[in-house]
Structures are given as C-alpha cells and as structure tokens.
Amino acid sequence: MRPIIAPFPSARPRRARQSPAIRAMVRENVVTPSDFIWPVFVREGKGIEEPVPSMPGVMRRTVDLIGAAAKEAYDLGIPAICVFPYTSMEARTEDCAMAWDPDNVANRAIRAIKDAVPEIAVMTDIALDPYNINGHDGFVVDGEIVNDRTVEALVKMALAQAESGAGILGPSDMMDGRIGAMRAALEAEGHQKVMILSYAAKFASSFYGPFRDAVGASAALTGDKNTYQIDPANSDEAIRLIERDLQEGADMVMVKPGMPYLDVCRRVKDTFGAPTFAYQVSGEYAMLQAAAQNGWLDGEKVMMESLMAFKRAGCDGVLTYFAPEAAKLLNG
C-alpha cells in the first residue's frame, strides 16, 4: 500500500498532529493492559519478598505471597502471569529431577495462583537451567548439551506443569523437536486445551544477565549457550525455526529478546500471521530503569514508548517486567 499525498500546501501532515484529540483519532497502534504477560519469580520459604538487585522494582516472592501478586495483576487487567523459579545451588543436580517434581516451587506456585485467581492465565517456563548444576537448558554430557535426552526430560516437565494447572507452556530451551514431542504427550495425556507459546526465536543474547541473577543461574552456568540459542546475526534462521515450531503444534510464538530484535518480530508477523509475542528481557528492563533512576531518561515515557514499539512491530503482546506499572499508568 502506497499512500497518496497531495503536494504542499494542499497537504499539511502536521494537521493530523495538532491536538491530543486529533492525534488519538489517527493513532495507528494502541497499548492496553491486556497486551501484557507479567513474569514473576518464586522461591522457597514463607512470607519473603526480596528484591532482585540488578532489576529495580522486581521481587522474588514465596509461594504464599504469589496469589496476592496474581490478584493485583488481574485487577489491573493483565490477563496472564508467567512463573519462573529461583533455586539455590544446593538444590541443583546433574539429573535435574526437580524439574518435573509435582511439588517443586514452580508447580506449587501454579496451583497457588489458580486457587487465588482462577480466571488468570498461568504461563510457565520449560527448560532445565533452574535445576541444572551446570546452569544449562539441557543435560550436559562430556561438555556437550545433548538434545534428545533433554527433550525427554522437557516432556516430563511439561506434563507436570499441565497437571498443576498451567494453561500456557513456554518452552525456552531451544532444543530441536521439543514442540512436537510436548504436543504429542499433552494430547495423549488429555491436556488438549493446554497451549504452547514457544520461545521459537530465542537468541544467544547478552541481555539476559539480570534474569540469570534472578533465578540463581549466573553462578551455575559453565560455558555459554551458543550451541542451542540463535546467533544474533541470523534472522532467516529465526524464521525457519518459527515455521518449524508452528508445524509441530505451537499455538503462539515468541521472539526473545525484544527491542534489539524488532525486525524479527515484524518478519514473523508478516510471514505467518500467527499470534506473535516478544519478551522485553531483564537487560532491556534494567537499562531503562537504571537510566531513569539516574535522571537521564523520563522513566514513564520511555517505558510506554518501548512497549508501543512491540505493537508497532506487529506483536500481539509482550512479556514485560513493567506490566503492573504500565497497567496502572494506562488505567489512570
């Protein structure tokens, strides 16, 4: 589509910018609280709400407090909450068996959220890194992150989360074949309604540092994740992986990180038309918060501008730590 514009002075584009009312009438994209998925961190213990130092305003909460956080989100109009577990080094093992334990902290949090707010959608994270002594998303054998054995474990993890009440599973591991294996297992076990929001285009990014602190993975990680996450230089590869995951049964797809990869978001939406999400990751959040706290940027304005960028790039929604703050602002 090519717009037809008369020559100046017949055309004065500034006429459409002259007042808040006119700007609102011609605005092409809108951000609402229903666009957000709020990532939250849960930990063992009771009555604890501790700040994540590298993510100002973000807390790790114990399971007994997570229901109240979910109710706050729901009351603000946020439709979904995503659970990430914090685990200590002492709790991590080579076999990662805690990952599919029905009573691990993440699965208990799922049940607590659904008990407190049945209407809210609960999303999960599927990867072995919170439970792995090596800090990797898959099993490490002789220094190699092995694929097929990891997929078997991820399927068990997916089933445990579905049985705990999760409605949206978020495989973030980037192993080959895991979406098809999970979808087959969910169908076989009667979980036909459970959705998969695949981290289909997850890049080997340097923007994840604060998140790894938040889940306790920084000290655990040996080496890097370059053999399973996408090279940041590759967008064609991301499109191929999105297509693969949709063919294997993903209901929705995600690009991660978000702002440095808005070009990929646009390509994904234009190519497939599938529900497309982005993750405004910890490093993006921390950058904006740090600049705002130093007075270098207007925090509220850059927060909302950054969220609008995802909608403009074609995203249907965004996982963002700003969700409650942005929702409060949007709600007036």
Residues annotated as part of the active site: 202, 256
**What residues does 209 pair with on adjacent strands?**
none
Burial 136-145 (b: 16+ CB within 10 A, else e): bbbbbeeeeb
Burial 90-99 (b: 16+ CB within 10 A, else e): ebbeeebebb
| 173 in Cβ contact with 111 (< 8 Å) | no
How far apart, in Å, are the Cα atoms of 92 and each of 62, 133, 136, 248? 18, 5, 11, 31
**Residue of 53, 317, 37, 48 whose CA lies nearest to 211:** 53
User: What is the spatial distance between Cα 172 and Cα 253, in angstroms, rounded to a whole number?
Assistant: 11
